[in-house]
Amino acid sequence: LKDQTVNNMEKYIERDLRLPLLLDRMHENGKKTFLLTNSDYRYTEKVMSFLFDVPSAKGRHWKTYFDYIVVDARYAFRNVCLI
């Protein structure tokens, strides 16, 4: 399924031109942002690059919009108990 998505992102993923603007506003107001996903890095890189390939991103790499990024999270939090 992920291969199909990556090979035809226009069909399966809808870009929102306002996403970079939202994340910039959050940072301007002192908020921290994070991306937490169970997906692997290869897939995350492709999808996020697609999402941030919009004029409002002004050529910035998607990673610059996040303070923290965790991929393959199912492995990172295997032995963690959140209360």
- Each residue of 15-65: pLDDT tens digit? 999 999 999 999 999 999 999 999 999 999 999 999 999 999 999 999 999
pLDDT at 1: 86
Eight-class DSSP state of 8? T
Longest CA pairwise span in the chain (Å): 41
The 10 Å Cβ neighbour count of residue 83 is 2
**Is pLDDT of 73 > 80?**
yes
- Where is 20: in which H helix or E strand? helix 19-28
Q: Which helix (H) or strand (E) holds 69?
A: strand 68-70
Confidence of residue 82 (pLDDT cuts 50, 70, 90): low
- The residues near 69 (Cβ < 8 Å, ≥ 6 apart) are 34, 35, 63
**pTM, entire model:** 0.85
